Structure 1
Amino acid sequence: MKKALLAAIKLLLTITCLAQQPNYGSIKGQIRTKDGKVAEGVSIFIKELNRTTIANNDGVFKLNTIPEGTHTLIVTLVGFTDIEKTVVVKANEITQVDLQLAISNTELNQVVILSNKSAFKTNRVSSTLRLQSSIIEIPQNIQVITGKLINDQQIFDMLEGVTRNVSGVTRNEHWDNYANIFMRGSRVAPFRNGMNVSTTWGPLTEDMSMVERIEFVKGPAGFMLSNGSSSGLYNVVTKKPSGRTKGEASLTLGSFDMYRATIDLDGKLTDDGKLLYRFNAMGQAKNSFRDFDYNNRYTIAPVLKYLVDDNTSVTLEYTHQFSQVNMIGTNYVFSKKGYADLDRNFTTGEANFAPTNMNDKSLLTILEHKFDDNWKFTGQAAYFNYTQVGMSMWPDGITGDEENIMARRVYLSEDYATAKTGQFFINGEEKTGSVNHKILAGFDMSDKINYYDWTQSALISDLDIYNPVYGTVSAEEMPVFDRSIDIKVRGLQYKNAYNAFYLQDELGFFDEKLRLTLAGRYTTIKTSTIYSGEFKASKFTPRIGLSYSINPNTSVYAMRDQSFTENYGTDWEGKSFDPLSGTNIEVGFKRDWLNGKWNSVFALYQITNDNILTADQEHSIGTQQFSKQSGQQKVRGFEADIRGEIAPNLDVIINYAFTEAKVSKDSDPLLIGSQVSGTSKHVQNAWLNYKIDNGSLNGLGISLGYQYQVDRKPWFASDSAIQLPDYFRLDGGLTYTKNKMTFNLIVNNILDKYLYSGGYYTYNETYYWQAEAGTNFRLSVGYKF
């Protein structure tokens, strides 16, 4: 691997040395709308060079080190007609370009904000969050991870380094199929295009090849989206047609025999530009630092958008993700003696284990209609289907004089889940006297059903964990589970449904400097299981927020909001749990620095959660584990997020979060005051990227970043005293861009640390953990056309 790294670095240095040095000039300008207002956050793209910049808060932009000659500028901002302008650049001169944007009659509010092409910072949320204000004006902490940043960091799915880019967000251990993301004291709900896609164990985590951006909304968000947890949600926004003809392809080679290819095609299917398309596809074959382990995937995501007329559009999106892994659970390490007692490449798997196959399919339809310049209707409906067929591995225990003999038990692992979701809402602006109103009103509904079966199991050959000998499990020894009965009949069933009405009015006073948000949501939740029948509950959750702009670049806010969500599962008697409820109180400070080059957000909050599930030790026996509604948890914290260009060509992400999450009420007095499972008290991350834009090294970029977590509590731990060690991971990379080609080398875990997360089971007195790979690399080559 070291030889491969040295060869890749030499290749990049050779390319830079061979780069020609033409005569350079600059392009500078200001962009306004037709009514004379400055257009902040506009994307300015040089077609021939694949160079992009973003206009600051005064609409001013500048592009340096542009080769002498004729170039084409493409200027884009959501809701406005694109501009293509030919510009002649002369050596050692600044070419002045001032432009005006006109409101588009055909590009209805895109699901993706086309202007946000900067690597780190963006000014607006996507339309799937339904808000009409800029991020600095919203009385809530919302952090956006752009598609360009995802590409630069070579993040391929939610299980990788996404969490480093947002304060206080961590990934807890689990299998290779879904992302178990924690923030503000609990697991955050996974959303896709504004829809809650969580199931009991799914869905399959999104591959980043089809993702435009990821938005982390902190705190309750029921006022603008379907039900999410009190800690917040992450919203994966998939790529949609842009109306411009373009494409991109990439190839990646990496450690552990990784081979990956992606393609992204975007354009028009008809000459009149009414029928648009977007097509993304990905294929990946990857082994692991553990023997016999692998993760082979493919993704297909076609999208069609039809512009019926100047005011109406229809979008149809289909997504199919497939993943094949070795038997689930073989990537865990077990010991009676303590964490990190075995090599990180230890596995309980075997070469002849049958794979587990996962399929995630979804169909999304969006109807958008503009009544006029102030009012718009959006309706969207989706169908999600997730299947998992295979087996899983979990030990009965570890025995022997040296505590070395593991009894390996293989379980049937099968899951079938479907979800139907519908959302209808209107956005509008009106004025009453001197008060401006931004109105959001809508109706949400969802119906989810999940069948799973892991009731069948069998023991196979024991394994000496300190001297493992593989290949002893014959084909005859492997169990053959009975799948003759449909899983909808034999499987354990969870059914969760809800419907809700909501209304929000953001009132703007004193020329929009002071903004008061008043909102309410009435939600009815229905759950049912094969044990307890149907459970139904309703609740009204109000929201009040206040945001004040001290100046155009600085704002302060305060808010109070509530959440009300389904509580998956049943207790030992098979009875459904009451819904989860949470109340969040928050204050914050937001500022754009250097007139929008970089921004900062600082927030203080307190969340009170009720009806929290904890382990039911009284009724849990062996592998039969139950949960109970233990009472209440309180989470207090401070968050700081800084992102953007803090100096010429130097982009940074720096964040820190202090999280004090404690059990405040519980039937077990010993648990009161203990740290909530899955939380880290201190989380601090940084990512720095410096790009050279002149001289012989023009186009070369250097990145370095780390993730640091302190006082980590295991996600699933029966013993409140068990803690995980502190976590520190250092990553870095080199990039080189020349015209339409980009070379990207990323090295993860540079210090080769033994990193893991896990817990302790009291029922068999065993430590378990899931290790990360040691030093590893990825080298990607991308071409835009």
Structure 2
Amino acid sequence: MIKHLPSIYIYFLTLTILSLPAYSQINTDQNTGTIAGTVKQADGLPAVYVNVFIKDTQKGTSTDADGKFKIANLAAGKHTIVLSAVGFNTIEKEVTVNSGETSDLAWVLDESAMNLQLVEIIGRQERGYKNTTSFIGSKSATLLKDLPQSVGYVTKELAQDQAAYRVNDVVKNISGVNQFSFYNDITIRGHRIQGQRDSGNLVNGMRAFTSFWKQQLIPHIERVEVIKGPASAMFGNASPGGTINRVTKKPLTETRQTISATVGSFSTFRTLADFTGPMSKDETLLYRLNLGYENSGSFRDMQNDKNLVVAPSFSFLPNEKTRVNFDIVYQGSQGRLDRGQAVFGDGDLYSVPISKALNAANDYLNEESINATVSLNHQFTDNLSFNSIYMRSGYTEDLLEHRTANAYASLGDGSLDIEKVEMRVFIRKRVWNNDNFNNYFNYNFKVGNIENKLLVGYDYFQQVLESGGSQLEARGYYSADRTETINTYDPDQPELYALDDEGNPIPMVAHFDLTDPDANSLRDMSGYSYTTRIYSQSKLSSHGIYIQNQATWGKFQLMLGLRKEYYTDLLNYKSDNEDPVTQDALIPRIGLVYALNPAVNLYGTYVQGYQPQTSSVINDVNAGGPFDPLIGELFEVGAKSDLFKGRLSASIAVYHLKQKGALYNASDATNPDLLVQIGEEVSKGVEVDFAGSITDNWSIVASYSYNDATITESDDETEIGQQKPNAPKQTGNVWTKYMINKGALQGIGFGLGANFVSERYGSITRGTTTPIFPGYEVVDAAVYYQLEKFRIQMNINNVFNKTHWVGGYDFLRAFPGAPRNLLTTISYTF
């Protein structure tokens, strides 16, 4: 399908050009006048595609990309002008039109929290770095400053300005969030969340199955949100550190088409298209189609990505009380799996170029995922609404890789050759399917002077690893008669092994020589013999009943929530040996918000978390177990404020997060996949975030976090007090953009940013010294030129070409960051 993409774009580009409206000259009358004006958001940015019309008439228009509009040929006299946009409060103003004159007006729209849940169904109109509202933290329309928990976010506008294409590209903008590895693998407040798990990754508030190996793409994403700390009270099985939610772009009532193309370093080529608008004259049926294609290389040897995103979405609005949305997101990916940089066994990170990968030319990783969602919102009355959402999520993995066996090459005398890596081969196929069903009522009512938002809901989730999941593995050293292999070399029994002329054991999969420039060549696999691992069909499911109330009394807002979770894991699913493992949990949540003044809210919260760690979740028969669930507990206090007349949001959070039962590698030489459960870990720290604009043309995001995340209980005393893996104590980021909006240089803009990460430990490896990856500072820059609907930008990432590592497990699997690179993007909006 990927190879046919250019024809798809030609078709849609042709369709777009043919559908462009023709404009005709408007005849004026001596007794008529004109109304013109500018509409802005509260943060000073233009309010685009706002409906502007004259009440009780057919005359109207919408604001352009600069928030401007004009309605000509109006009869002289008084008229009522109406401004409306989804997610904003409607404005009605009486305006006097004078004959032969133009009335030049200005308005500011305020975002409406009450309309928020409709926004999530039919799309958002706002632009800018600031996001003021969400329902992900409470499943009810809530201003972020009224939510008693820290929520970080990145809007599509910030992602566009930074030329970001993946979730990992944007998390640096959020305090307390950073990469763990190259993969879909993130730490939040020092606690890890991963793909191929049913916790930590949400799409529109629903649990979606995602790849672990490939970072999640965002060309179809409206914003990326991070709920910090456990979100189990709302979503059940959730990571104690936090949860990432990706909000997809939804259909808009205004016709809009945007196409863009990006080229740059490492043979990068990307092209995107975004089409949206009404499909019927009465605007009851809306559509949106997001397309994305990437064919890019990498600074890493043998690495390339061919990615395709097709994301159609449809909204049906039969009346003012009912909204139905249907959307599909298809993602196809072709490339190789990059296991990271291996360096010499002495641990010198600079001993091997950061470009060196361990792949063979015949390796591949092909993945497909699809999310299909149907959602319904019905407003029974002004105070009672019902939401029902169903999502089907599927993922297919097809893998062939030459990879490290997590050891250096063994020599006959028992020593190691620190310039050669012991290798193994995986050939693997797996398919998962998820079903996620969520239903809840929102009821607003008043008791005396107390206003209440009551939420009552039920959800069901199941995940099935389909039959046929299996893996072939070739590894180890040949036995003396070459009829079998032995996984590890024992120098006390050399007679058991086939030895070469120098007395060294002969590996079945040749070692990778880190000094050989041709080591990535095609490998002859005809002589490999394989052991087969069967991933037995499995099914896990959960039922959750939850209730929550947000009570407002004067300056106080109290949130109380309680969830009862029932969890079942069916081992050996659909076999004679089917074995159910059941758990249940009662999960409380309490939060308090106090409005210190109109601009500043103080808050405090207590939340518990729950995350099963059964065999189906871990998905590795060699991991050991059974394991107890991962239990989290969060205490957090903070403040949220709006500065510069609401343009800039600011927040500070102080937290104490405890989790019990985390799993770490046992460092067992005979079973490299064996896991061990550690007693308790605590992260505590402070986070500061800013997002928004200082003036109409000056935008900024900035963040800082201090996070002391350590192991506090373990059966190995040497681990107590050690910082958790890939959990930097300090991180910080700033990005600012300034656009010149007048004079000869109007339309030119500049962007400048920097982020730093302090040193981090790699994976805890029992019995050996834990590797340390150095801290780093990286500077990025950009230049923009905006001319009406045309925009060109150039982004320079890592301006000073800083060699750095974004994460790492050990010295065989380090994850370097990209060197200096350049991206140029051209976009046009019809």
Q: TM-score normalised to the size of structure 2?
A: 0.80
| Aligned equivalents of 1:475, 1:237: Cα separation in 2 | 45
| Aligned equivalents of 1:684, 1:244: Cα separation in 2 | 38
| Aligned equivalents of 1:42, 1:544: Cα separation in 2 | 38
Which residue of 294, 305, 322 maps to 1:312? 322
1:545: which partner in 2? 591
Q: Deviations over 1:381-426 (max 9, x none)?
A: 1111101102123223334786323333221233321111010011
| Contact 1:297 1:324 survives alignment (8 Å) | yes
Kindly state the Cα deviation for residue 227 of structure 1 after the two structures are TM-superposed: 2.9
Q: Deviations over 1:146-178 (max 9, x none)?
A: 11111111111113x211211011011144xxx
1:183: which partner in 2? 188
Write out aligned runs for 1:283-682 (5 A). Answer: 283-326=293-336, 328-329=337-338, 331-338=340-347, 339-350=349-360, 352-396=361-405, 397-399=407-409, 403-450=418-465, 453-458=470-475, 459-470=508-519, 473-475=522-524, 477=526, 490-492=534-536, 495-510=539-554, 513-530=555-572, 533-567=579-613, 568-569=617-618, 574-617=624-667, 620-622=668-670, 624-647=672-695, 649-682=697-730
Q: Deviations over 1:455-502 (max 9, x none)?
A: 52254433321233246545554859799xxx9xx3245543211111
Kindly state the Cα deviation for residue 657 of structure 1 after the two structures are TM-superposed: 0.6
Distance 1:474 1:514, change over 3 A: closer
Kindly state the Cα deviation for residue 271 of structure 1 after the two structures are TM-superposed: 2.1
2:27: which partner in 1? none
| Contact 2:424 2:473 survives alignment (8 Å) | no
| Contact 2:123 2:251 survives alignment (8 Å) | no
| Contact 1:169 1:181 survives alignment (8 Å) | yes
| Contact 2:181 2:807 survives alignment (8 Å) | yes
Q: Deviations over 1:696-727 (max 9, x none)?
A: 11111111111211131225654464221002
| Aligned equivalents of 1:671, 1:695: Cα separation in 2 | 62
Distance 1:407 1:713, change over 3 A: closer
Kindly state the Cα deviation for residue 731 of structure 1 after the two structures are TM-superposed: 1.0
Distance 1:413 1:596, change over 3 A: same
| Contact 1:685 1:705 survives alignment (8 Å) | yes
Residue 137 (structure 1) aligned with residue 146 (structure 2): yes
Unaligned runs of 5+ in 1: 1-24, 32-37, 54-62
Kindly state the Cα deviation for residue 263 of structure 1 after the two structures are TM-superposed: 0.7
Higher mean C-alpha deviation, range 558-567 or range 707-716: 707-716
Q: TM-score normalised to the size of structure 1?
A: 0.84
| Contact 2:137 2:227 survives alignment (8 Å) | no
| Aligned equivalents of 2:351, 2:93: Cα separation in 1 | 61
| Aligned equivalents of 1:78, 1:731: Cα separation in 2 | 33
Amino acid at match of 2:590: I
Q: Deviations over 1:542-571 (max 9, x none)?
A: 111110111121110011011112223268
Q: Is the partner of 1:467 in helix, strand or coil?
A: coil
Amino acid at match of 1:526: T
| Aligned equivalents of 1:559, 1:106: Cα separation in 2 | 26
Kindly state the Cα deviation for residue 197 of structure 1 after the two structures are TM-superposed: 2.1
1:278: which partner in 2? 288
Distance 1:722 1:103, change over 3 A: closer
Distance 1:743 1:384, change over 3 A: same
| Aligned equivalents of 2:512, 2:786: Cα separation in 1 | 50
Amino acid at match of 2:428: S
Q: Is the partner of 1:404 in helix, strand or coil?
A: strand
Distance 1:29 1:771, change over 3 A: closer
| Contact 1:108 1:311 survives alignment (8 Å) | no
Q: Is the partner of 1:110 in helix, strand or coil?
A: helix
Q: Is the partner of 1:224 in helix, strand or coil?
A: helix
| Aligned equivalents of 1:336, 1:776: Cα separation in 2 | 30
| Aligned equivalents of 2:824, 2:561: Cα separation in 1 | 48
Q: Is the partner of 1:208 in helix, strand or coil?
A: coil
Q: Which has the larger radius of gyration?
A: 2
Kindly state the Cα deviation for residue 507 of structure 1 after the two structures are TM-superposed: 0.8
Distance 1:313 1:45, change over 3 A: closer
Q: Is the partner of 2:729 in helix, strand or coil?
A: strand
Kindly state the Cα deviation for residue 41 of structure 1 after the two structures are TM-superposed: 9.7
Distance 1:39 1:403, change over 3 A: closer
Q: Is the partner of 2:120 in helix, strand or coil?
A: coil
Q: Is the partner of 1:136 in helix, strand or coil?
A: helix
Amino acid at match of 1:457: A
| Contact 1:76 1:82 survives alignment (8 Å) | no
Higher mean C-alpha deviation, range 607-616 or range 573-582: 573-582
Distance 1:479 1:562, change over 3 A: same
| Contact 2:113 2:142 survives alignment (8 Å) | no
Distance 1:149 1:481, change over 3 A: farther
Kindly state the Cα deviation for residue 674 of structure 1 after the two structures are TM-superposed: 1.3
Q: Is the partner of 2:635 in helix, strand or coil?
A: strand
Q: Is the partner of 2:232 in helix, strand or coil?
A: coil
Higher mean C-alpha deviation, range 38-47 or range 598-607: 38-47
| Contact 1:689 1:701 survives alignment (8 Å) | yes
| Contact 1:717 1:760 survives alignment (8 Å) | no
Q: Deviations over 1:248-294 (max 9, x none)?
A: 11111111111111111111222222221111111111112233220
Report the RMSD for the aligned CA atoms in angstroms: 3.6
| Contact 2:175 2:689 survives alignment (8 Å) | yes
1:697: which partner in 2? 745
Q: Deviations over 1:59-83 (max 9, x none)?
A: xxxx8xx999999997524276699
1:778: which partner in 2? 823
Which residue of 190, 196, 219 maps to 2:207? 196
